[in-house]
């Protein structure tokens, strides 16, 4: 780690005087205020409403202890947590793999690299609403060209509903999500590839190692900590997927694609059950933390071995 290396060269000026600390606190003041508004207050509100019976117009009607949590776990929400985990973990992995592949491709000497890079950014910049609508029309059984083209090539016999049947519905959401976020991973991995010491790559190449060998023997091992960090980030983002579900499938067919974020939204804005929605949100945060914990631990372990 960078800061790890720096501390061994500290000069006297690094010792923080009390005066500096006071100024430092002043600099942090805006952040402290902001945190109060967007983190502390909402978190307190969340916890309090989750143990109460609340609607938006009448918060804190009564205190119900853990009833909301129990109800949530007994309802479809528990399934949605599993669905969300089963969606987030594999899709992030696939996106990481594809991202690495494309980044490696981009990394090799090629012309118009800036052009490719620019075009690759576009899906990332698109509003999820726009992405959802484009995919929705494309995948429609009669109006979308995907179904029609597949029928023409006789891979499908009748126009098929991608968004209305499982497993295609969740796969379609995964496809749209991959389309939008893989460029993000490509950019990050590409940048990480630049940090691999050139001497190592040169040495390996001179000795006759081919691309694949260099990739697997030199580049990937070197980048392991960074790659895990990237995976972690995408994993957290995947758990929050909402826009695509809202536009593409509205959680259907039935509730098969109702990911947790979407379910919480429904509890809040269709049933107006604030207490339940808060409980559901806390459960989601809990699951995300539980799942990302092993990954974080693995990341720290790899980093430690790397800097020995």
Contacts to other proteins from residues 22-51, by CB under 8 A:
23-25, 27-28, 30-32, 34-35, 37-39, 41-43, 45-46
**String marking each residue 50-89 x if it binds other proteins according to CB under 8 A:** -----xxxx-------------------------------
- CB of 90 or CB of 195, closer to other proteins: 195
Q: What is the secondary structure of 70-130 as a DSSP string?
A: HHHHHSHHHHHHHHHHHHHHHHHHHHHHHHHHHHHHHHSS-TTHHHHHHHHHHHHHS-HHH
By CB under 8 A, the count of residues binding other proteins is 139
Q: Which stretch binds other proteins (CB under 8 A): 61-69, 89-97, 250-258?
A: 250-258
Residue 242: strand, helix, or coil: coil
- CB of 73 or CB of 252, closer to other proteins: 252
Q: Which stretch binds other proteins (CB under 8 A): 65-73, 88-96, 233-241?
A: 233-241
- Give 13's DSSP letter: G
As a 3-state breakdown, the chain gives helix, strand, coil percent values, each rounded to 5, of 75, 0, 25
Residues 6+ apart with CB under 8 A from 78: 72
Burial class from Cβ neighbours inside 10 Å (0-12, 13-18, 19+) for residue 84 reads: buried
**Dihedral (C-alpha) 252, 91, 176, 247: value to the nearest 10 degrees?**
30
Binds other proteins by CB under 8 A, chosen from 73, 78, 89, 121: 121
Provide, rounded to whole angstroms, the least separation between the CB of residue 250 and other proteins: 7
Residues 6+ apart with CB under 8 A from 93: 231
Binds other proteins by CB under 8 A, chosen from 72, 120, 174, 245: 120
CB neighbours (10 Å) of residue 78?
A: 14
Binds other proteins by CB under 8 A, chosen from 85, 281, 283, 299: 281
The reply to whether 148 sits near other proteins by the rule CB under 8 A is yes
The reply to whether 277 sits near other proteins by the rule CB under 8 A is yes
Identify residues 179-218 at the interface with other proteins (CB under 8 A).
179, 183-184, 187-192, 194-195, 200, 203-204, 207-211, 213, 217-218
């Amino acid at each position: 780690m960078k800061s790890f290396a720096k501390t061994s060269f500290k000069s006297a000026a690094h010792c923080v005087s009390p005066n500096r600390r006071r100024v430092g606190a002043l600099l942090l003041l805006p952040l402290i205020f902001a945190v109060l508004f967007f983190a502390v207050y909402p978190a307190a509100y969340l916890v309090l409403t989750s143990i109460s019976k609340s609607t938006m117009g009448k918060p804190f009607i009564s205190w119900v202890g853990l009833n909301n949590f129990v109800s949530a776990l007994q309802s479809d929400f528990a399934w949605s947590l599993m669905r969300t985990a089963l969606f987030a973990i594999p899709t992030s992995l696939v996106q990481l793999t594809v991202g690495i592949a494309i980044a490696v491709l981009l990394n090799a000497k090629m012309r118009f690299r800036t052009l490719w890079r620019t075009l690759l950014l576009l899906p990332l910049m698109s509003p999820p609403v726009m992405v959802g609508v484009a995919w929705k029309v494309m995948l429609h059984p009669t109006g979308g060209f995907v179904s029609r083209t597949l029928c023409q090539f006789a891979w499908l016999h009748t126009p098929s509903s991608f968004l209305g049947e499982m497993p295609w519905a969740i796969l379609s959401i995964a496809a749209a999500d991959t389309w939008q976020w893989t460029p993000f991973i490509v950019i990050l991995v590409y940048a990480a590839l630049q940090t691999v010491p050139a001497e190592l790559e040169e040495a390996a190449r001179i000795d006759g190692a081919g691309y694949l060998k260099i990739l697997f023997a030199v580049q990937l091992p070197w980048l392991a900590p960074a790659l895990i960090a990237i995976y972690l980030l995408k994993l957290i983002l995947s758990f929050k997927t909402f826009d695509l579900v809202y536009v593409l499938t509205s959680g259907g067919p039935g509730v098969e694609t109702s990911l947790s974020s979407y379910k919480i939204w429904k509890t809040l804005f269709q049933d107006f059950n604030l207490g339940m929605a808060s409980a559901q949100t806390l459960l989601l945060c809990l699951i995300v933390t539980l799942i990302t914990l092993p990954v974080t631990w693995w990341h720290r372990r790899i980093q430690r071995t790397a800097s020995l």
